Structure 1
């Protein structure tokens, strides 16, 4: 299944290792994005169509936003900023276990400056009896919070309801199409060709070999 420009898109953003890819996999109902207990696993923009309760939309997984100055981190940030105009809503993910850190505030600032509707989702609420305690740091945002455990699939329905309520109703066209694979040895230009064909900066392009870690559709 291929995507069209008319599809509504909700993008999942956040700092590294907060559970963005886990939420992505839950929303698209399959293990599409790599999930590991380490930072920087997701680098490229991954888009997958899904349908919830009769409404179709695209879910976008993004790399972790960080203030690190290394080449890959900077490329990820530039990539996400360049694609913001193509999104219709944002889901901002935080990590309850590690608590609120300065990078979380940077991500929230980006969401606010985008002008898009956004939801603040706090992942890794392993015990909902301790929800208030785990959310206490995040209350300083003064906005509605969605407590979740992506691993246990808890709290996700409320996030989906928010997504459905905040996406355009007339942009839900999915288009059946063909798939082509771009193959070759590392660093020959596969990602550059992919971006050219898609007419958007979906895949990171760098002189560093092995930058692409996942398949892109």
Structure 2
């Protein structure tokens, strides 16, 4: 698998509240298998979203992602390898690429500069010339000046000047994006709809069955499985279909201890796992149902909650437990995992396949809670009724009041309370508990912060009151 590509996200969150109206330009990235299309898509997105592996045929469907460059939003479509002579599954993949070409506003044809023009490249060029659409030829894998001359040979396709880039290292990507924006039509046809697969991280202690679960979903041995703990070191991305929907599952290294106490390979594996969790939308934390819940299990769950990801708890190896173990496990869950009682729970066996189909509905439920939004009017009616029925305790003759509430964001849901003074931690926990009871937010951590109004101060003359309007 290739190295992690990007440095940071674009910073734009495609929320329902800020989604643009009207159509946006659509860019289709096409080319032969394994020329670096998905790597280029990741480079344009500014984050690792499309699945990338050093083998052809990883991308099979046309997958659209929302992108932005210098304030211009557009939709970029990653496609499978296009080959006019393909048969079987490859033919179906090529058909998806052809649909992407037909429906795009701009087509980016990617070629490997080190290989040169192949017959399938020439066939694609002839089709694109007849389409009358703006086409940008990209000479990928140009990592130095030596390949510049090889990239110039792509003029022979008759589609204009090729853009020499290295999608992996970022060379020339800015110039390419400028060319793409210059090619956009005045009236684009597409829309910003995130139809790309959701990214799900499988995390847990070593040897809890993460790789076995990934292999069960994929139907093949994509991840190495061994009884020796710590077999997986690097995160492994796989595009799999579960319950009729495509998902990106990320198999991660087992988290044995805190990163600052790890050493060598284990230290870097822990850091990469933490990065994989941050890059995911939902984390499925696997626990070994046949063994007691350990402190490390709790630490992993806390890490997911603090990262703000949606959460599903999967108790694996369910085929190994008997009635006595089930009884004690229920007691352990009530005692040890009360802090994540809001997370969907699924009992599975990666080895036998027991109930693994229940994971997809649980993930969907968690993601729905992660993206849930309450209108400001409804939220303030709710908070007014709550504080009236259960006012904040009086301390030292003072009783802070909640003046206004708003949901500041989603993924995870974030709430801000504007008050006359600081609220006690117990009262904040009470509000969070009631938020869950009345609105759900299943599978998602929620954040509640307080902005207390500053006290008015007397001025030095005339006894006039002054105030600073900012909270803290």
Q: What band does the TM-score fall into relative to the shorter chain? A: 0.7 to 0.9
| Structure 1 residue 85 displacement after superposition | 3.6
| Structure 1 residue 127 displacement after superposition | 1.0
Q: Choose the corresponding residue for 2:120, options 97, 103, 116.
A: 103
The answer to whether structure 1 residue 139 and structure 2 residue 155 are counterparts is: yes
Who is 1:205 aligned against? Answer: none
Q: Choose the corresponding residue for 2:87, options 44, 67, 70.
A: 70
The answer to whether structure 1 residue 128 and structure 2 residue 139 are counterparts is: no
| Structure 1 residue 40 displacement after superposition | 0.6
Single out whichever of 107-116 and 153-162 deviates more from structure 2. Answer: 107-116
* Pair 98,167 (structure 1): closer, same or farther in 2 beyond 3 Å: same
Who is 2:179 aligned against? Answer: 162
| Structure 1 residue 67 displacement after superposition | 3.5
| Structure 1 residue 104 displacement after superposition | 1.0
Who is 2:244 aligned against? Answer: 190
Cα RMSD after superposing both structures: 3.1
Tell me if structure 1 keeps the 8 A contact 2:75–2:191: no
* Pair 126,6 (structure 1): closer, same or farther in 2 beyond 3 Å: same
State how far apart, in whole Å, the 2-side matches of 1:21 and 1:175 are.
19
State how far apart, in whole Å, the 2-side matches of 1:33 and 1:19 are.
11
Structural mapping, 1:171-210, within 5 Å: 171=188, 174=192, 190=244
The runs of 5 or more residues in structure 2 that have no matched partner are 1-13, 200-216, 220-240, 246-472
Tell me if structure 2 keeps the 8 A contact 1:43–1:76: yes
State how far apart, in whole Å, the 1-side matches of 2:118 and 2:192 are.
38
| Structure 1 residue 130 displacement after superposition | 4.1
Point out the structure with the larger strand share: 2
Any idea what the Cα deviations from partners look like across 1:24-58, whole Å, max 9, x if unmatched? 00111111111111111110111111111011101
State how far apart, in whole Å, the 1-side matches of 2:242 and 2:113 are.
41
SS in structure 1 at match of 2:28: strand
Tell me if structure 1 keeps the 8 A contact 2:113–2:147: no
* Pair 57,169 (structure 1): closer, same or farther in 2 beyond 3 Å: farther
Single out whichever of 111-120 and 11-20 deviates more from structure 2. Answer: 111-120
State how far apart, in whole Å, the 2-side matches of 1:103 and 1:122 are.
15
Single out whichever of 64-73 and 85-94 deviates more from structure 2. Answer: 64-73
The answer to whether structure 1 residue 55 and structure 2 residue 72 are counterparts is: yes
| Structure 1 residue 174 displacement after superposition | 4.1
| Structure 1 residue 8 displacement after superposition | 1.2
Any idea what the Cα deviations from partners look like across 1:162-190, whole Å, max 9, x if unmatched? 111111355486479xx999xxx788982
Who is 2:24 aligned against? Answer: 7
Q: Choose the corresponding residue for 1:79, options 80, 93, 96.
A: 96
TM-score by length of 2: 0.36
Aligned length: 187
Tell me if structure 2 keeps the 8 A contact 1:15–1:103: yes
The answer to whether structure 1 residue 18 and structure 2 residue 35 are counterparts is: yes
Tell me if structure 2 keeps the 8 A contact 1:11–1:62: yes
State how far apart, in whole Å, the 1-side matches of 2:155 and 2:102 are.
28
The runs of 5 or more residues in structure 1 that have no matched partner are 192-217
State how far apart, in whole Å, the 2-side matches of 1:180 and 1:156 are.
25
Tell me if structure 2 keeps the 8 A contact 1:56–1:173: no
State how far apart, in whole Å, the 2-side matches of 1:148 and 1:120 are.
11
